[in-house]
Amino acid sequence: MHPRRPDGFDGLGYRGGLRDEQGFGGAFPARSFSSASDLSHWVTTPPDIPGSRNLHWGEKSPPYGVPAPSTPLEGPAEEAFPGGGSSSVAGKSSEQLNRFAGFGIGLASLFTENVLAHPCIVLRRQCQVNYHARNYHLTPFTVINIMYSFNKTQGPRALWKGMGSTFIVQGVTLGAEGIISEFTPLPREVSHKWNPKQIGEHLLLKSLTYMVAMPFYSASLIETVQSEIIRDNAGILECVKEGIGRVIGLGVPHSKRLLPLLSLIFPTVLHGVLHYIISSVIQKLVLFVLKRKTYNSHLAESTSPMQSMLDAYFPELIANFAASLCSDVILYPLETVLHRLHIQGTRTIIDNTDLGYEVLPINTQYEGMRDCINTIRQEEGMFGFYKGFGAVIIQYTLHAAVLQITKIIYSTLLQNSI
């Protein structure tokens, strides 16, 4: 989302122009400033910064070291609102609650996506790379049963392994995207007046970012699927060490079946770009429908302040939730193929997802993406691409429940404050 700033914003001209357009006319005529002394009385900040104090015509900043006068401003605005002191305090209190609630809602969503859902991600990846499995775990009921078995035999750490490496991969991805966009003309954002060239350059930036993060993603995948029974207590930066070692050919010894990084570029970039495109399209579509529905409901009947505040935050969260869900479901078969290619030849030992208390080695011999797809279809059937899909159902059910609980808490707080 882009801040709504005027094309040519210089502070003074913007304030005067805005006042004239809003019908203040002669009450606030535009001024011309001929000297720096006139400009010294003005303090302006961009209008989209929360908490900024923007002075308007007739207001002056007090000189340095001199306290501001405590006399109230005189004018028709004060007379129009008797008892404005209490309403001002209530407005500030409501604004502070609104900001706090908005931060809390976003934090709850991030916590659900990256922390609460991590056990589902661990089991989902283990099922995807387990070509031995006879139980595909397509429903959440079998997934809950196997989660309980892992927790009972190996402890809680079996379901939370590799969580630090997932944050490192996200940090590397964001950092790489920022650095590449700074030193190249590739745009990080697509403007509303987009064209095919801009879209292509933006997707090229995303592709380069996925290429840079690819070895670290591979190391993070190994940490999340490696069995806790034979896993060493690696440090939080082990993902970085293994990623760099994968690039330069050092680190933990691998077998001859290990696929080179060059052969992993296409499936990794394909999955990343398609996931980004699908999620972006779904997000924009859902957000458009929700905002249109909200606008129509506002026209049909008066809306309470509480509902207005809810409409300011939750449509975007719901759009992000729907976008992530749709992209994960649509690309789940491709993700299964991608994970098997990344894990091949790394001498990784995973948990037995059929029994819940044994370990299994990964000894696949795929020659590439096409061979992996054909082998899965022939030996495991079409449902072989959806192994562990029940974990996705649990993951997004938890996410939807957290969003609903957060909305209820937020509504209760607003009702008590209004």
Q: Residue 56 has what pLDDT?
A: 44
The phi, psi pair for 37, rounded to 5°, reads -65, -35
Measured CA to CA, the distance from residue 395 to residue 118 in angstroms comes to 8
Q: Residue 93 has what pLDDT?
A: 57
Cβ count near 184 (within 10 Å): 12
Measured CA to CA, the distance from residue 90 to residue 255 in angstroms comes to 67
Measured CA to CA, the distance from residue 418 to residue 413 in angstroms comes to 9
Q: Provide the terminal-to-terminal Cα distance of the chain, rounded to the nearest Å.
A: 30
Radius of gyration of the chain (CA): 28
| Contact between 118 and 399 (Cβ < 8 Å) | no
Domains of the chain: 106-416 (1.50.40)
Measured CA to CA, the distance from residue 170 to residue 109 in angstroms comes to 16
Q: Residue 52 has what pLDDT?
A: 39
Q: Residue 45 has what pLDDT?
A: 41
Q: Residue 42 has what pLDDT?
A: 44
Q: Residue 20 has what pLDDT?
A: 44
Q: pLDDT tens track of the chain, all 418 residues?
A: 444 444 444 444 444 444 444 444 444 444 444 444 444 444 444 444 343 344 444 444 455 444 545 444 444 444 444 444 555 555 555 566 566 666 666 677 777 788 889 999 999 999 999 999 999 999 999 999 999 999 888 888 888 898 989 999 999 999 999 999 999 999 998 887 888 999 999 999 999 999 999 999 999 999 999 998 877 766 778 888 888 988 887 666 667 889 999 999 999 999 999 999 999 999 999 999 988 887 676 666 655 555 566 666 778 888 989 999 999 999 999 999 999 999 999 889 999 999 888 899 999 999 999 999 999 999 999 999 999 999 999 999 999 998 888 888 877 876 776 5
Q: Residue 83 has what pLDDT?
A: 47
| Contact between 224 and 242 (Cβ < 8 Å) | no
Measured CA to CA, the distance from residue 168 to residue 213 in angstroms comes to 10
